[in-house]
Chain A
Amino acid sequence: MYAVDSPATPRQHRPSGGHQRLPQRGAVKPKRRKNDSARTPLLLAAPALLILAALLGYPMFRMMQLSFQDMRLRQLLTGVTPPWVGLDNYTNVLTDPFFWDVVRRTATFTVVSVVLSVVFGLAVALLMRRVARPVRLAMVVAMMFVWAVPQLVQAQIFKWMVDTDFGVFNYLLAQIGLDYQGHSWFADPTQGWIVITTLVIWAGIPFLAITLNAGLTQVPKELLEAAVVDGASPWQALRRITLPILKPLITIVTTLSVIWNFGLFTQVWVLRDSKVEPEYQTLGTYSFIQAFGQSKYSLGSAIAVITVLLMLGVTVFYIRQMFKIGEVD
């Protein structure tokens, strides 16, 4: 992220020795460089592109193909080519009201979880700028630990903490005199979703806070000091100076969070003990259960393709932002 956000900061506009020397050196033999520069990037990118084509392109192609066929367990086990069914899978999915419930739920979760994680992430990042160095270091270390815990383990930890019978959460709430003994956190889907969202936000904060903190180091102190001298309140300084400078970075981390959280799967899967009730289904679990739980591989593929299409808008926006920032350079 450093490489991405640094060009956007005002400091980069000052002339720097390193930047100027390069074009001069190139000017000595302009012709050869031109030929090279056309081919070299392509050559350098070729291995990566080939790997992407093999690991991403082919499975994507098979997924598209599958979504137009009717592949079941029999075809999987016997190797018989599945029958072609055209748009049947898509019609089935798109006319199923339950699918739209799932889409709505996934979208709502994404909006809520992303807004909250970005706000908390930014708050932690701002706090990191204010505290003493050792405290900041402790914060980074603590967050690195959270970041280092695999999703599956994070979810298991939460599952135990909110367990009805053995959970430390109910125990503590009961200790302070609340009637939470044997309280079920998943009987009511609203509470269940609060637990899942909390887990996702908790796990998302380290990346956001550390990235945004790095961005904050690029906000010129002089600007903020000048603002304070001119009588700006801290809130005004944040809104008028810090946030505008951070905006490209915030846009990128928000878009990334949207893409990640929209694909929510592991947390729900673990917290619901791999038996995901209808109210806890997201596009990720729904497509997985259709494909692998019920062996309707084609229907699952169709749902996955629709999910890709739904996410396409966000992805395009993300890529455009990346390019936009690149152009400033």
Chain B
Amino acid sequence: MKRRIAIAAALAATLLGAAACGDSGGTTAPSTEGKVDGAGKTIKVWLMVDAESGWKKVVDDANARFKAETGADVKVEYQQWANHLTKLDATLAGAEVPDVVELGNTEFAKYVDAGAFAELKKDEFENSSTWLTGLSGACELDGKTFCVPYYAGARVLIYRTDLFEKSKVEVPKTLAELKTAADKLESDNKDSKFGAFYIPTNWFMAFSFGQRSGGKIAVKEGDKWVGQMSQPAFQQGLQDWVDLHKAYSKADPAKDENDQAAIFAQGQAAMFYGNGWEKGSAEEIRKDPNDPESELVPTKVKGKLALAPMPEVPSFLGGSNLGVTQKSANQALAAKWVKAFTDTKSMEGLIAANALPNSTALLDKAAAVEGMEATAQAAKNSWFPPNSAKWADVEKQTVPQTMLRDILTGKKTVQEATAWGDEQINTILNAS
């Protein structure tokens, strides 16, 4: 009961905040053109923690250029992914809001739909004509643009070079080759803990297989979403993924991909499927995980990992966008900062830090960087979940995870589970 009351109290507090400052925020799109005098002003930016651990230099550089141009200071606050939306909701309901907010690309549509972000002038941002559609799709509503793509991550195959050499297997170019390689690896590594391919219940991966066989998650018919997972085209790919899991993975079906790099670092698998930067997370860990400045300690697999495109399987394009909040009192300044942080110079910094840039025009540049070939290539063949403001709710209700777990534990067949999934998706996406 105590908790329920706490919720009610928190809600009431946020409501009071909302009532107190309901009408602030401009209605016209802030322009980044022309001079804005920001001397003495400070804008507040919420970035996710990846920027701090991955490319803090890019942030510092953009801040410096922004300050030189406008005279304004920037205060960057790094957020954790877990429950960051709950924090954002409570903050945006109040008066002291951040001016710029980063959100995951699948999270953005809901907030654009709710009017949380100010309209931006698309043409004023560099490379806006070649933005990755998997990112910018969530920014568009009724022909207007409400956010700017920031960076992307495409998932690839991360494998153990030493084990591949020992078993004399080549990097697979097709799914069939991958299975042959996995069979060989399994027979060469007899440890009962060993599984050639570590596959947690990662719906990005499973659904990528559904895309490979030509399936879709859902399509829009008129103004109604219709789930397509129970169609044979999707089921076929899903079955391939399940077979791969059954044959080569020792992963817990109740775990998602959150700690896959740490598990892989134990040395009990030869391959896993993840973002390019997870190679680094598997090879080195912070001595003190709570201190991003602490020294890096090598793991068992240090120097033994390499990336390759996942053969034949299109990649889910994950990533982040940046928006200027509707309630921000410094919208013009905030838009200028976003412009500096997403221009070609910043994007080149991101590429150097192994993240993918926000534009197809820059992907070739990324592909030329050592170690980035695989992810850049994967990003060119990528897919994106239904662009609906309600898709975030599908993820929140753990529909994809539950569906996959039920198949892996044998509780449901692929047919039963996908039928259930379609039913859930239809209900959630079409809810009023």
Contact = CB atoms under 8 A, between A and B. Distances in A.
B11 A184 contact: no
Contact of A77 (B3, B86, B93, B397): B93
Nearest to A308: B4
A63 B8 contact: yes
A304 B193 CA distance: 45
A84 interface: no
Interface stretch (A17-25, A109-117, A247-255, A286-294): A286-294
B223 interface: no
Given A73-B111, A293-B396, A308-B4, A79 B192 contact: no
Contacts, number: 139
Contacts of A75: 18
Given A277-B398, A292-B86, A182 B4 contact: no
B254 interface: yes
Contact of A292 (B89, B192, B326, B405): B89
Interface string A161-200: 0001110000000000000011011111000100000000
Nearest to B394: A294
Interface stretch (A4-12, A30-38, A52-60, A217-225): A52-60
A274 interface: yes
Contact of B11 (A59, A80, A188, A284): A59
B1 A263 contact: yes
A74 B389 CA distance: 12
In this complex, the interface size class of chain A, counting residues with CB under 8 Å from chain B, is 35 or more
Given A76-B92, A77-B326, 11 more contacts: A60-B8, A62-B12, A73-B116, A77-B93, A77-B327, A78-B326, A265-B3, A266-B3, A273-B256, A278-B402, A311-B1
Interface of A: 55-56, 58-60, 62-63, 66, 72-80, 164-166, 181-182, 184-188, 192, 259, 263, 265-266, 273-278, 284, 287-289, 291-295, 297, 300-301, 304, 307-308, 311
30 contacts: A59-B9, A60-B5, A62-B12, A62-B15, A63-B8, A66-B11, A73-B114, A74-B113, A76-B15, A76-B93, A76-B114, A77-B92, A77-B115, A77-B116, A77-B326, A79-B18, A166-B263, A182-B250, A182-B252, A185-B254, A188-B409, A273-B256, A278-B398, A284-B4, A291-B7, A291-B11, A292-B89, A295-B110, A308-B1, A311-B1
| 10 nearest A-B residue pairs (beta carbon) | A79-B22, A164-B252, A59-B8, A186-B254, A73-B114, A184-B252, A293-B396, A79-B18, A74-B114, A63-B8
